[in-house]
Amino acid sequence: MLADAAQHALFHRDSLCDMLATVMYRHKLDDTPWAKYVPTAYYVVAEVLLESWLERGVVPPEWPELHNLTEDHPSVSDSSSSEEGNDPEDPDFAGPLQKRKR
């Protein structure tokens, strides 16, 4: 999972709103690169959730120290590019206007 990419689709809505509310509580939005990709509606829900926590005196737990997964798996950052070339002579190659043969 890349840090500066859309990640919100990977989480259940409630979990994501909990994470956002926690990040907002800790004033860490600027330190959370993926947060800029989250739709506004999630922020609205997270804000309501955070207000509810504050009214009840709930303090969200600290997160464990996080690290960049691409340091553990360098191939993750290159996963969107193919090392294999596109050869039009290859029977499995489907160009932009070609359809695959079945």
Residue 66 has pLDDT above 60, yes or no: yes
Q: Is residue 55 part of a domain?
A: yes
Q: Is residue 87 part of a domain?
A: no
Residue 78 or 10, more confident:
10
Q: Is residue 70 part of a domain?
A: no
Q: Is residue 85 part of a domain?
A: no
Q: Are 89 and 83 in contact (CB under 8 A)?
A: no
Number of domains in the chain: 1
Q: Is residue 15 part of a domain?
A: yes
Residue 80 or 54, more confident:
54
Give the pLDDT confidence of 12-38 residue by residue, as tens digits.
Answer: 889 889 989 999 999 999 988 888 888
- The band of 57, judged by pLDDT with boundaries at 50, 70 and 90, is very high
Q: Is residue 47 part of a domain?
A: yes
Secondary structure percentages of the chain, helix, strand, coil, to 5? 50, 0, 50
pLDDT attached to residue 73: 63
Structural domain including 36 reads: 8-62
End-to-end CA distance of the chain: 34
| Structural tokens at position 56 | 């009840």
